[in-house]
Amino acid sequence: MRTPRIAILGIQGGIEEHLAMLQRIPDIVSYATYKTSELASADGIILPGGESTAIGKLIEDFALKDVIKQKAQAGTPIWGTCAGAILLAKSIENDTRRHLAVMDITIKRNAYGTQINSFVTYTVLPFLGNEAFPIVCIRAPIITAVEGTARILAHLNSDIIAVQQGNLIATTFHPELTEDSRFHLWFANLVKKQTSH
């Protein structure tokens, strides 16, 4: 079986941190890119955190929107963290813009406030095991509605912080800014499973 390739959208945001996490996982090739051809050949894609408005504009400017949407529709695992989750959402409560609009979720930008309201806490993410996972929220959004075939993976108190819809995953927090690689391993295993079909 060939080694799966995970591309990190390399426009803006937490690119190096995602790369560092993926490099700890065996049998995965990871790279950052904003080239259409390299995104098109990827077996999995990560849309990192950063500034969703800036990333959304650059996706348009670099003509990347169509290739990412095509990959989403073709079943390629795509994971958006924080700003990446906003890019995936079909509805943004406090913004008229829509970016990729491929997930049946509604999201609210900067739901906890500004940068000074950023925080770290811990909660159990059942699909990753019983040990609490560090939840790093930086100007984090909240997923306020989940529709269609989308299903909630995790809450923080009453807030929805992780959702999966088939091959698409949205998290409002930053697993790449922790020392815990379990989420990246979980995503890599999804990519490996899809690639082996």
Which active-site residues does the annotation give?
Answer: 82, 174, 176
Q: How many domains does the chain have?
A: 1
Q: How confident is the model at residue 115 (pLDDT cuts 50, 70, 90)?
A: low
In the chain, % of residues over pLDDT 70: 97
In this predicted structure, the answer to whether residue 2 has a pLDDT above a threshold of 90 is no
Name residues whose C-beta falls within 8 Å of residue 170's C-beta, 6 or more positions apart in sequence: 79, 80, 84, 85, 88, 89, 103, 105, 107, 143, 162, 163, 164
Q: What are the pLDDT digits (tens) for 27-49?
A: 999 999 999 999 999 999 999 98
| Residue 162, beta-bridge partner list | 154, 171
User: Rounded to an integer, what distance in angstroms lies between the CA atom of residue 58 and that of residue 153?
Assistant: 29
CATH no. for residue 132? 3.40.50.880
Q: Please tell me the pTM assigned to this model.
A: 0.95
State residue 114's pLDDT score.
Answer: 64
How many beta carbons lie within 10 A of that of residue 37, not counting itself?
A: 9
Domain that holds residue 178: 5-195
Q: What angle do the packed helices 182-195 and 15-22 form, to 10 degrees?
A: 70
